[in-house]
C-alpha cells in the first residue's frame, strides 16, 4: 500500500486544493474510512495553526488537541463528519460539518456544545453477554445493555467524557435532518416523506426546507435537533 496521497485523487469532501501540488498527506488508519481527512490538513491548511508537519506534531505533543474528548498524538488521525475538535490552550472548539459544496468544514461551537458529539446509527447487533453494540457512521462502536429504543438511521448524542448516550433522535417523518452529501449537502429541513424502494436500492427521503425542499437518498441525511441546527447558523 502506497504511503502517498495524490491531491487529484482525494475524496471530494477533503478541504484541499487539488492543483496546488502533486501530493498531500495520507490519512492514517482510524475512523471515517477513506473520507477521513488527516488532522494535519485541518491544522495547517484549514485553520492555519501550524505551517508544517513538524509544528503540528509539536502541538499535538502538548496534549492540548482533543478529538471527541480524547487527546490526539497522530498528525494523520482521520477527522470526519460530526467530530468535535477542541484546542484547549486557545479555547477554540469546532464541529466538523459539510458546507454547501459537500466539503468538510469547521463550525465554531461553544465549550458546552463541544462536550458531546452526534453519531448516526448504521448497525445494531447483539454481542456476547446479551448486550448490544451500536455501530456509528464513523465506524466507532458503543456497547449498551438495552438497545430496544434505538434503530438504524437514528441519531444519538454521546458525552465525550463519559461516553454515555445523552440524547436520542429517531429517524422518522417529521424529524429534523441535515444532508451530509450530494447536491444538497449542508441543507437542513424536516422529513415530510420516506419513500421505500423495493429491492436492494436505497430508500428516498423528501425534506421540506425554508426555501422549498429537496429529495435525496437516506444515506445522505442525518437526524439532528434544533440546538444542533442553531449552533450551525
pLDDT in tens, 77-100: 999 899 999 999 999 999 988 777
CA-to-CA separations, 120 to 8, 117, 152, 212, in angstroms, rounded: 29, 10, 8, 25
Residue 48 sits at φ, ψ, to 5 deg, of 70, 25
Q: How confident is the model at residue 154 (pLDDT cuts 50, 70, 90)?
A: very high
List, in sequence order, the alpha helices (H) in the chain: 39-41, 53-61, 226-232
Q: Which pLDDT belongs to residue 179?
A: 93
Confidence of residue 8 (pLDDT cuts 50, 70, 90): very low
DSSP symbol at 115 = G
Task: Count other Cβ atoms within 10 Å, centred on residue 10.
Answer: 21
**CA-wise closest residue to 99 among 159, 41, 14, 164:** 14
Beta strands in 128-211 (DSSP E): 132-136, 141-144, 155-159, 165-169, 176-179, 188-195, 204-209
- Cα-based torsion angle of the residue sequence 119, 123, 126, 131 in order, rounded to the nearest 10 degrees: 0
Q: Which residue has the higher pLDDT, 125 or 17?
A: 125
Residue-wise pLDDT tens digits, 39-62 = 998 998 888 999 999 999 999 999
**DSSP state letter for 46:** I
pLDDT of the residue at 35 = 77
Q: What is the mean pLDDT of the chain?
A: 86
Burial class (CB in 10 A: 0-12, 13-18, 19+), 185: buried
Q: What is the pTM of this model?
A: 0.83
- pLDDT bracket for residue 195 (50, 70, 90): very high
**Span 132-143, pLDDT tens digits:** 999 999 999 999
- Predicted confidence (pLDDT) per residue in 18-46, tens digit: 445 443 565 667 788 777 888 998 998 88
Tell me how many degrees the CA angle 68-173-109 measures, rounded to the nearest 5. Answer: 25
Residue 149 grid coordinates: 429504543
Q: Is the confidence at residue 7, as pLDDT, over 60?
A: no
In order of 2, 55, 69, the CA distances from 27 in angstroms are: 11, 18, 20
Q: Are 191 and 205 in contact (CB under 8 A)?
A: yes
Per-residue pLDDT band for 233 (boundaries 50, 70, 90) equals: very low
Amino acid at each position: 500500500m502506497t504511503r502517498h496521497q495524490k491531491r487529484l485523487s482525494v475524496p471530494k469532501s477533503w478541504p484541499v486544493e487539488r492543483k496546488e501540488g502533486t501530493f498531500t498527506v495520507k490519512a492514517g488508519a482510524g475512523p471515517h474510512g477513506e473520507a477521513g481527512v488527516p488532522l494535519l490538513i485541518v491544522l495547517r491548511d484549514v485553520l492555519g495553526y501550524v505551517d508544517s508537519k513538524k509544528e503540528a506534531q509539536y502541538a499535538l505533543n502538548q496534549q492540548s488537541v482533543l478529538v471527541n474528548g480524547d487527546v490526539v498524538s497522530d498528525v494523520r488521525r482521520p477527522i470526519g463528519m460530526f467530530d468535535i475538535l477542541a484546542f484547549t490552550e486557545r479555547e477554540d472548539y469546532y464541529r466538523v460539518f459539510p458546507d454547501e459544496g459537500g466539503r468538510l468544514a469547521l463550525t465554531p461551537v461553544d465549550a458546552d456544545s463541544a462536550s458531546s458529539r452526534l453519531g448516526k446509527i448504521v448497525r445494531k447487533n447483539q454481542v456476547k453477554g446479551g448486550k448490544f453494540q451500536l455501530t456509528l457512521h464513523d465506524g466507532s462502536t458503543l456497547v449498551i445493555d438495552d438497545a430496544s429504543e434505538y434503530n438504524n438511521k437514528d441519531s444519538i448524542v454521546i458525552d465525550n467524557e463519559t461516553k454515555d448516550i445523552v440524547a436520542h433522535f429517531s429517524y422518522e417523518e417529521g424529524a429534523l435532518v441535515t444532508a451530509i452529501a450530494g447536491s444538497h449537502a449542508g441543507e437542513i429541513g424536516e422529513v415530510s416523506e420516506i419513500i421505500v424502494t423495493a429491492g436492494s436500492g436505497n430508500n428516498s427521503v423528501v425534506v421540506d426546507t425554508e426555501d422549498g425542499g429537496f429529495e435525496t437518498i437516506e444515506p445522505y441525511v442525518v437526524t439532528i435537533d434544533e440546538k444542533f441546527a442553531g449552533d450551525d447558523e
